[in-house]
Structure 1
């Protein structure tokens, strides 16, 4: 076997060999291969890796003077083997206290900022009595239209947002911004296509069964389509780490509604629809701009080819399924409550503001847990990446036991932060109700139903936060099927219990479906995490 330096004994364009340049290039190639697989099985595995990185016979011959890619793979394999044999265990770098604290704070803010638009919308409702797509004094008919359009937008594009987040971030993390742009806009186009198909199916259903009058149906479709565009753009901004930009767009949208509605005295519906159109259009425009800016940072060279569509679909299918199931889980109790037959039901679904208000207040309690979850998962995965290289194969039980203890501590932290967040939100709502609204002779907690739903939903979201922690960790370990195995039974319990209690007792008891579903989801995801942590060495090998 020739030594690596014999590779590259070809002349440069001027006819003179450039040994140093080619030796450096070979060293970088060895590093790239080792980063992807620290110990390839054989030279053929290296050849497969090189092909996945964009190398072929012609490029290998031109760059290194070899006859084909297999000769290059043989040289790289020998270099990687020597590198592994002569390398010592990796030692974790000791980060300073300030650096660690800043990194944790950055992760926390990233998680919190993702939920910030939701908080801004709720605060806008409390202070201005309207937000980008809601208004306190809307008729129940219009409120029903907006609610249906909003829920449908989340459910229809939920899978696409998960696919964008998974696949887009996968390419961005490797610096392939052009590939990330291509796959992202592929899913955006598919998302719009799915939205159009959903509109057509809703129209057909409404024509056959005459569920809603034409004017109400038009409002449903308009809110549905515009909000769909907003959710798709915010997902792209998240993977590009531009969450604050979307928060600014929400604030700008609310400002537009304020000017049109309060200053120019437009109808609130037209003001909101125009504002949503502006925000969705601006969001997509910024997404294109940000990708172009990011592509300028991409290293020049031969980028790997885009995988076939069938391969991409297969890879993202479990994440797509989770996105769909998750949003159905979040909103199905509302459908159970709003479709329960009471004294006055002019339509199949009839919006009940007292129920919705309690859920909206309770959702605020997820902001802090989302931030904590981001910190905990990032820290754990960094520990896994830095630590598993320091264990021998026969020490796998020690490594698994260590991370089992770490995981138990993280679960205790997320549970405590969720409970503290729920208590904080409850206290703030009570304080706001007693000071701001009491001064105006109104009440924030409009009825006993709102208070009842608020308290039960707070408990449900505290439990749900622990399940989300498990889900995010399992996603980080590339185990989406285990998450779906937890959320499917949870959704079934949510639907069955919510339907039964809303019909047997009172529509407000549909909230117990959320509570029971959250318990099932957290319990099953916890069991899956214990299973993975107990065999962490196997799962790390499987995803390497």
Structure 2
């Protein structure tokens, strides 16, 4: 094979590897990855240096038609993906939507399993319909506290662990997950100490109440911390297995062996945590067994500094979601207990029905971000530097199609939820009574709020894709303040159930602010893309 043949063969290999390169350095790095040395270029390819060889290949590829410079993955996608237009205005791929919407629903399967268990057994992994009002207050407060404490660590681990995992730094990924899981537990213990100290000084709740609250909070927070690694590891299917097995164990203990509900819950949650840790150990054993020489450990402080906006976003998001409940419970003085807040059944039922709307829209977000990520790289390769305005406008159009899909899905879901609540085969068939007026009112306002929250979170996910997070954190902080202010004033001035409008208005503010930031994000999309990669 002469130098010309070797050159042509090498050029073909570069195209197969990177497609249309972003610059000369991409080709240079690719040649180095092939093991080509500077001293080999003269004899093998007829060029004086590796730099000259890279420049020749780069200029050749840039001059080629776009359809001839697709890499192997792009060619495979072109062969296997057939466009199936949904309608004239969206022009999306029906198969992509079906795939990713289905994936989004599949990832919610653990939650659907809990809903199924509650409907048919009045019992799930951490809830029980026969709790009295004081027990319900302690357990639900524990659940809320667990979500808030773990939320920041889940976001942080998901972001940084994904980065390490994608770069095949498996030992660093494992160390990060284990160290931040421990940090989450330590933060929880500090929070528990603060709660007990505050309760001791102010005499807010009985000690037995606090023990139940902290017990459920600890178990659920630990469960969420051990679930978090499955997302960056792309093993989310394992969560369905562990939660299903743990729910079965808890049900068997409670229904067959008549174990006390608290004990069966704690044993079931402990089983889920154990299963999660076993899966994580197995996944890392497979990967790190291949690369035993990797001992470098990431600096915990450095990781936190680089990702702290994600940490506070994750924590604040759960504060926003649960704030209206706390405001409503603390404003309802119809109970005979001298507690600062107490579980309000009708309000909670309304919000539980409303959150079904959020679950229905999760798949839309999954699809939208998958399509955005896929097209981002494709369009970047096909546009020159002077076309950056066209580049941004293309994705604005794509974004509008995603929002249209979100609202269509929301309308369809609204009809389904309405039928579920009003038809004899739905809520009435299970509970033997019609939905209370308060619950109906709260579910309607809450559902609208969750539509806007889903919209705002979709805006955030677009920006998260290219590591733009601070505008979203500021927007969420403002929305949380609006949620509290409006909900507090309305619930104290009129009735407790009006606190739901704090959540609704806060979600609208969150959507408006993130939409504004997203518009600016699209205007500078080429810059954000280059900065991220």
TM range (shorter): 0.7 to 0.9
Match of 1:56 in 2: none
| Cα distance in structure 2, aligned partners of 1:81 and 1:532 | 33
Match of 1:420 in 2: 412
Match of 1:474 in 2: 463
| Cα distance in structure 2, aligned partners of 1:510 and 1:268 | 31
**Kept after mapping to 2: 8 A contact 1:354/1:449:** yes
Which of 85, 88, 96 pairs up with 2:80?
A: 96
Which of 524, 527, 542 pairs up with 2:513?
A: 524
Corresponding position: 1:498 with 2:472: no
Task: Map Cα deviations across residues 240-271 of structure 1 (whole Å, 9 max, x no partner).
Answer: 23323222322223322322222222222222
Corresponding position: 1:160 with 2:143: no
| Cα distance in structure 2, aligned partners of 1:192 and 1:139 | 29
Match of 2:274 in 1: 281
Corresponding position: 1:349 with 2:322: no
Change (3 A) 1:439 1:356: closer
Match of 1:252 in 2: 245
Corresponding position: 1:488 with 2:488: no
> Runs of 5+ in structure 1 lacking a partner?
6-19, 54-59, 67-73
**Kept after mapping to 2: 8 A contact 1:42/1:77:** no
| Cα distance in structure 2, aligned partners of 1:156 and 1:441 | 33
> Runs of 5+ in structure 2 lacking a partner?
40-47, 84-92
| Cα distance in structure 1, aligned partners of 2:193 and 2:185 | 12
Q: How far has the Cα of 1:239 moved from its partner?
A: 2.4
Corresponding position: 1:393 with 2:385: yes
Which of 244, 262, 266 pairs up with 1:269?
A: 262
Task: Map Cα deviations across residues 212-265 of structure 1 (whole Å, 9 max, x no partner).
Answer: 111111111110111011111221122223323222322223322322222222
| Cα distance in structure 2, aligned partners of 1:280 and 1:303 | 27
Change (3 A) 1:441 1:205: closer
Change (3 A) 1:511 1:76: farther
Q: How far has the Cα of 1:275 moved from its partner?
A: 1.4
| Cα distance in structure 2, aligned partners of 1:485 and 1:357 | 31
Corresponding position: 1:124 with 2:98: no
Q: How far has the Cα of 1:425 moved from its partner?
A: 2.4
**Kept after mapping to 2: 8 A contact 1:471/1:525:** yes
Change (3 A) 1:38 1:164: farther
Change (3 A) 1:208 1:82: farther
Match of 1:442 in 2: 432
| Cα distance in structure 1, aligned partners of 2:467 and 2:161 | 15
Change (3 A) 1:39 1:407: farther
Question: What number of residue pairs does the alignment pair up?
Answer: 492
Change (3 A) 1:269 1:306: closer
Match of 1:533 in 2: 522
Change (3 A) 1:509 1:41: same
Match of 1:408 in 2: 400
Corresponding position: 1:369 with 2:361: yes
**Kept after mapping to 2: 8 A contact 1:227/1:280:** no
Change (3 A) 1:292 1:387: same
Corresponding position: 1:232 with 2:232: no
Which of 164, 186, 190 pairs up with 1:171?
A: 164
Q: How far has the Cα of 1:101 moved from its partner?
A: 5.9
Q: How far has the Cα of 1:96 moved from its partner?
A: 3.0
Match of 1:184 in 2: 177
Q: Determine helix, strand or coil for the equivalent of 2:108.
A: helix
| Cα distance in structure 2, aligned partners of 1:247 and 1:144 | 28
Q: How far has the Cα of 1:441 moved from its partner?
A: 7.0
**Kept after mapping to 1: 8 A contact 2:176/2:298:** no
| Cα distance in structure 2, aligned partners of 1:149 and 1:401 | 46
TM-score (norm 2): 0.84
Q: Which moved more, 1:83-92 or 1:339-348?
A: 83-92
| Cα distance in structure 1, aligned partners of 2:81 and 2:363 | 20
Match of 1:338 in 2: 329
Change (3 A) 1:352 1:529: same
Corresponding position: 1:455 with 2:455: no
**Kept after mapping to 1: 8 A contact 2:456/2:510:** yes
Which of 79, 87, 92 pairs up with 2:61?
A: 87
Task: Map Cα deviations across residues 18-43 of structure 1 (whole Å, 9 max, x no partner).
Answer: xx9xxx9xx99xx79x98x8445999
